[in-house]
Structure 1
Amino acid sequence: MTSKLLGSDSFQLGVCYYPEQWNESLWEDDFRRMKELGFSIVRVAEFAWTLFEPEDGTFSFELFDRALDAAHRYGLKVIMSTPTATPPAWLTHRYPEVLNARQDGVLYRHGQRRHYNYSSPVYRFYCERIARMMAEHYRNHPSIVGWQIDNELNCETSEFHADADHIAFRQWAKNKYHTLDQLNEAWGTVFWSQTYTDWEQVFLSRPTPSNSPNPHQLLDEKRFISDNAISFARLQADTIRRYAPNHWITTNGIFGRLDNHALNEGLLNFFSYDSYPQFSSLEDPNNESSLRDRKWSLNLSEARSISPQFCVMEQQSGPGGWVNRMDMPAPRPGQMRLWTYQSIAHGADMLLYFRWRTATMGTEIYWHGINDYHNRPNRRVREAARIGEELGKVGGLITGKNFRARFAFLEDYDNKWDAEYDVWVTPLRWKSRDSWQKALQERHIPIDVVYMREGTTLEQLQRYPVLVYSHATILTEERASLLDAYVRSGGTLIMGARTGYKDQRGQCRMIPFPGLAADWCGISVEDFTLCNPSYPAASVQWNDEGAAEISTALFNEVLNLESDTAEIMATYTSAYYSGEAALTRNRHGNGWGWYFGSAFTEDVVHGILDRINVSSPADGWVELPKQVEIAIRGDIVFLLNYSHEPVRLNFLESTLNLLDNRSLVGSVELEPYGVLLVQRAFT
């Protein structure tokens, strides 16, 4: 996405608004105040199906016609949404086959949201019809610039077990495998006599005595769920483009079991993300070293991997929570502004706060917006006004510019989905991801996330001198060939335990670990063990003279050198494998393959970074404390303080803060949750 999609070179700042939830006498004042805050765009209608179609086949647009006309009078642009995340009661009552079901077949009922299934022909008919009627009606409305499809696909649940889903999955499997022999081979059904002899025997996973279904079938189920969600979205996208061809199309959220890259490339003009940093901070509230909301930057990096410039359709602006869960406290003064610039720093060219005013009824009465129930000024309103004023000055310098990073995490959907069910691998992935993110943040090294996909090229990988592919359990021949070429061409590739031993079916290869990664790693795995409190992880000693002893985590592999160019970088110093290789480095062509036989800890990551000599883009012109993140878009540098205390930065040369035109040189104090933006040329 670039700003030109919105017909403007300025940054688009806005808010989610629900005119149907408020007395019409409030609308004019609401839109006036939005404009005064510097807002230019609003999102509407994602939950308003009953307003548009109060009865089957009876359509009413009057309420939103008046609301959109009022928004237009104040110069506000509008994102219209298809309301298919909340089907009306008359629809779910008359056609219960549109409802989703638990694994045991019990239907989810009307009363919340996202209680439908994507597979129902009846639901698809009604979704296509409401999208068509809305697109036809609003195709020429002067306020509307684009559409949001549905709302947060696969949110609330990413499991589907309705009758229509079983039928759709069976057809999906037929299309993929063509014969039952091929399906049985892919799913390894000879194990435990699971072999299928008729297509009517094939279902999505159903309850089993120990809740332990076939893992290879589960991997395919996740692929099906993703394909099915994309098919559901395509129905709406195609309809809108047919009837409202001058509007752009997006959808919002990153949720499980959905290939968002395929969704974006196949259907959308750009991707949208919903940014609630306190989801991250709640994971570790008592650990000061966790960086808390700073961890959210990695989620934003993932959104950027889908769409280099994206929209934040929902930006947290206040305390969050439903009446029965997600009890997030109020953002402290300055955090709303910090999180806004965090999103922009990582690629947002448009950002809307959730929401204009906190709901006075329903499940989300504690999911606070910018305005409180009483509608009187508060500090969130004042903070929004400051942001609006600042972005009015500098937003045009930022939009359309790409994020700069020379370090990347590799990811792929097969490994992500397979690991959901794999108790040996899931903890390793989370531990390593967290350790790398923390260490790189503390060293002020920006990172990208790059997804390995069918169309990934060597040129795309070569943009990064260093890649981390921590635990690529599934490694296909095609990806292995690409990674081999990357290392040979001069790249540094770092991998961890449990690499490369599964194929694309999730079945284990009958070759030594690390499977297809062996050539560039230059090692084999002689022995291995899962670690737990009664079988603790080992300690490790770097081979450098005087280096400190450090610990592994969760899993230990004993490594053997298999290449003349491989060398041991660290050895185990405890457990029965004391003295054996734990971390190796191999020269492969012009590059290096590193392999660690464990999950990565922060100490191990720092040690590796010391030895591969990775520099920060801050080097040479500003010295930053670890509480500050550096992020770069084009020639705009964002310096973000995540601490609740002021911190000091040391500018080694005179630099101009774009937000207030203040010169920065020498020691400079940055306020709690403070933000600096500077312009700097990079080669």
Structure 2
Amino acid sequence: MNDNALEQLSDRLGGIAYGGDYNPEQWPREVWEEDVRLMREAGVNLVTVGVFSWAFLEPSPGTYEFGLLDEVMDLLHANGIAVDLATATASPPPWFSLRHPEALPVTADGVRLTHGSRQTFCPSSPAYAEAAGRLTERIVERYRDHPALVLWHLHNEWGNHNAHCFCDISAEAFRDWLRQRYGGLDGLNEAWGTAFWSQRYGDWAEVMPPRATAAVANPTQQLDHWRFSSDALLGLHRREAEIVRRLSPGVPLTTNLLVTLEKKVDGFAFAEECDFVSVDQYLTAADPEAHIGLSLDADLARGMGGGAPWLLMEHSTSAVNWQPRNVAKTPGQMRRNSLAHVARGADGVLYFQWRQSRAGAEKWHSAMLPHGGTDTKTWREVTALGRDLKALAEVRGARVVSDVALLFDWNAWWALEMDATPSRDLRYLDLVRAWYEALWSLGVTCDLVHPGSDLSGYRLVLVPSLSLTSDADAAALNGFVADGGHAAVGFFSGVVDEHDHVRLGGHPGAYRDMLGIRVDEFFPLRESETVRLSDGSRASLWTELVEPRGAETVLSFAADPSCGGPVPGHPAVTRHGHGDGVSWYVATRPEADALRGLLARVCREAGVTAAAEVPAGVEAVRRRGPDATYLFLINHSPRDVSVPAAGTDLLSGATADGGVVVRAGDVAVIREHGAPPAGR
């Protein structure tokens, strides 16, 4: 990670990056001149080129043709548009699959997939690695000194479609990975708990990926295969990164990670191998509160980069093409979505893609320049947003102010959603989102960070769901609280170690002493079943038989068995003084208003305050630069609202003297008067 790389890039661009994927190979050359003219009109200063151009750059094995890309690079430079140049390795051409059928991926059921889409390769294939490496070398050697080049774009959405392969090549690579992890078969057998179901291995040849089998596959075998698969892709990323850094050391590199769109690769691991974090984020059209999921992804992107500004590499101007029902964005929604990312640390706003395709699998995916051309709602919003981003140029480099960390871990996500857990209704993102949404509604900003991160700068750490945790990460949270921090932990957290082995002696294992409780037994609820708590609120999904061991009971399950569920009268929420700090435990899933009220109390006790006092449906986030702070206010509600603020609205130019009215669906960005407020 290079904290200065994105700052240097935005300085070179003269402001916040704005643009998207540009695929000129889809269009005749006479369209290109119109493209660059309209890019200038929209305020575009950066485009991503070459993501899916392997078949054009290497039309046959070892034959490279760069004429088209040369023209495009020169044309963009002549028009003042910088280039994020891709290594083009995300979609091998048909000739590669025909020449190397063994490189095609195989499913857990033993079905070998065929060419015809994208990312159709086995991540462990030596043939793919060699071909991708040769292509990367040729591209970097040719364009490393081109004046349009400002950024290298490695691959594209690592593992989106091919994260897991179960072929024989992958099986051997999996065994090699396991040898490095465990040393020998004794270590593997211990970690996988193979004494169960007579699974003990006596020869490495017996060890396989978790292919389709008669009953439940070994959980740790499954978990390790998720880890191996992520690492296999990370190895390919590192191979491309080594080539770029060796041949083009003065140009930063990144890759577009998928945050919560996919759980297939460990985003934290990939982020460490980039000069700065870049992500793709797409709304879930079926979610009426999708803008909250957007904010969660943005805060995770920032957490992946250690709090530094990051780049939004892809999002959509309107509808996508790959969801069951692809709902178009309403007027003003694209602007709110884009500026919400900027509010939460993005120093660049890019889309897939520049010109909407007329053919192919993504022809109905929206773009900056839609099928209807410039006389469209989308185009008018695209050009207006370009003006907004120019007005916000001074914000770039400012860091988001946050006193709260929310622990997020792909390993815990993988472990929670494997087979044979206490309830199939335990879904990682649902649990994280519920706590995050409560904070969002309170106007409290949080960083989503890895459990092994430095927590010392935070006032409060939240653990909505972390069933799997290592000894080291558990010790870090325990130490944070003992040193005076505040923490709140959700149910079924800390119950297994990194091998998915149960922590014995009573739950919640790793956090039991810190929380001052012991959980005797889990009592998951039936589908749609709810219970009443002692304050009259309701909860769902889960209950536990909690025994206080020093903790005080804040809320309990109702004493009446008819409405109190399986453990009537027992604690549902506890609070415990641990060292110089305070820890909370939540043994159920409270309804939204109750969880919001609970976390509001937790925040008050921890000394955490909102970025601004805002009504429901209004998003408030603060970025702090060396000379000023910027309060972003995004009104997702259908009503005009008044928010306390003092300063100048960078978007409208209006002065706020004690308060600002944010119109329904509108955005204000206030450069605040006075000294920057305290906070992380």
Q: Same fold (TM over 0.5)?
A: yes
Q: 1:275 aligns with which of 276, 281, 284?
A: 281
How far does residue 263 in structure 1 lie from its aligned partner after superposition? 1.8
The 5-angstrom pairing of residues 347-426 of structure 1 reads 347-395=345-393, 397-422=394-419, 423-424=421-422
Question: In the alignment, which residue of structure 2 is the partner of 1:92?
Answer: 97
> In 2, Cα distance between the equivalents of 1:586 and 1:406?
21
Question: In the alignment, which residue of structure 2 is the partner of 1:154?
Answer: 159
Task: Give the partner amino acid of 2:640.
Answer: V
The 5-angstrom pairing of residues 381-530 of structure 1 reads 381-395=379-393, 397-422=394-419, 423-424=421-422, 427=426, 429-453=428-452, 456=453, 460-530=454-524
Question: Structure 1 residues 623 and 475 mapped into 2: Cα distance closer, same or farther (>3 Å)?
Answer: closer
Question: Structure 1 residues 347 and 28 mapped into 2: Cα distance closer, same or farther (>3 Å)?
Answer: same
How far does residue 639 in structure 1 lie from its aligned partner after superposition? 0.5
1:657 aligns to 2:649 (yes or no):
yes
1:226 aligns to 2:224 (yes or no):
no
> In 2, Cα distance between the equivalents of 1:623 and 1:606?
15
The 5-angstrom pairing of residues 107-186 of structure 1 reads 107-186=112-191
1:60-82 deviations in Å (ceiling 9; x for gaps): 00011111111111011011111
> In 1, Cα distance between the equivalents of 2:328 and 2:427?
32
> In 1, Cα distance between the equivalents of 2:446 and 2:507?
29
Task: Give the partner amino acid of 1:310.
Answer: W
How far does residue 318 in structure 1 lie from its aligned partner after superposition? 2.0
**8 Å contact from structure 1 (residues 97, 163) kept in 2:** no
How far does residue 260 in structure 1 lie from its aligned partner after superposition? 2.0
How far does residue 391 in structure 1 lie from its aligned partner after superposition? 1.8
**8 Å contact from structure 1 (residues 223, 257) kept in 2:** no
Question: In the alignment, which residue of structure 2 is the partner of 1:250?
Answer: 254
Q: 1:595 aligns with which of 585, 589, 592?
A: 585
Question: In the alignment, which residue of structure 1 is the partner of 2:269?
Answer: 262
How far does residue 373 in structure 1 lie from its aligned partner after superposition? 2.3
Question: Structure 1 residues 637 and 669 mapped into 2: Cα distance closer, same or farther (>3 Å)?
Answer: closer
> In 1, Cα distance between the equivalents of 2:565 and 2:65?
72
The RMSD of aligned alpha carbons is 1.9
**8 Å contact from structure 1 (residues 490, 591) kept in 2:** yes
1:213 aligns to 2:217 (yes or no):
yes
Question: Structure 1 residues 410 and 105 mapped into 2: Cα distance closer, same or farther (>3 Å)?
Answer: same
Question: Structure 1 residues 390 and 576 mapped into 2: Cα distance closer, same or farther (>3 Å)?
Answer: closer
Moved more, 575-584 or 247-256: 575-584
1:592-638 deviations in Å (ceiling 9; x for gaps): 1111222343233233234335377557xx64221110111111111
Question: In the alignment, which residue of structure 2 is the partner of 1:66?
Answer: 71
How far does residue 13 in structure 1 lie from its aligned partner after superposition? 1.1
Question: In the alignment, which residue of structure 2 is the partner of 1:682?
Answer: 677
Task: Give the partner amino acid of 1:218.
Answer: Q
Question: Structure 1 residues 294 and 589 mapped into 2: Cα distance closer, same or farther (>3 Å)?
Answer: same
Question: Structure 1 residues 299 and 185 mapped into 2: Cα distance closer, same or farther (>3 Å)?
Answer: same
Question: In the alignment, which residue of structure 2 is the partner of 1:331?
Answer: 329
> In 1, Cα distance between the equivalents of 2:245 and 2:447?
32
Task: Give the partner amino acid of 1:670.
Answer: V
How far does residue 668 in structure 1 lie from its aligned partner after superposition? 5.0
Q: Aligned to 1:339, what secondary structure does the other structure show?
A: helix
Structure 2: tracts of 5 or more residues without a match: 559-563
> In 2, Cα distance between the equivalents of 1:556 and 1:318?
41
| Residue identity (%) | 31
> In 1, Cα distance between the equivalents of 2:365 and 2:481?
48
> In 2, Cα distance between the equivalents of 1:152 and 1:537?
39
Provide TM-score, normalisation by structure 1: 0.92
Structure 1: tracts of 5 or more residues without a match: 286-290, 542-547
1:46 aligns to 2:48 (yes or no):
no
Q: Aligned to 1:387, what secondary structure does the other structure show?
A: helix
Q: Aligned to 1:427, what secondary structure does the other structure show?
A: coil
How far does residue 312 in structure 1 lie from its aligned partner after superposition? 0.9
> In 1, Cα distance between the equivalents of 2:640 and 2:312?
28
> In 2, Cα distance between the equivalents of 1:7 and 1:654?
28
1:608 aligns to 2:598 (yes or no):
yes
**8 Å contact from structure 2 (residues 295, 340) kept in 1:** yes
1:29 aligns to 2:14 (yes or no):
no
Task: Give the partner amino acid of 1:357.
Answer: R
Question: Structure 1 residues 538 and 313 mapped into 2: Cα distance closer, same or farther (>3 Å)?
Answer: same
Question: In the alignment, which residue of structure 2 is the partner of 1:341?
Answer: 339
How far does residue 138 in structure 1 lie from its aligned partner after superposition? 0.9
1:552-582 deviations in Å (ceiling 9; x for gaps): 221111211212xx21111111235222222
Q: Aligned to 2:19, what secondary structure does the other structure show?
A: strand
**8 Å contact from structure 1 (residues 528, 557) kept in 2:** yes
Question: In the alignment, which residue of structure 1 is the partner of 2:561?
Answer: none
Question: In the alignment, which residue of structure 1 is the partner of 2:536?
Answer: 549
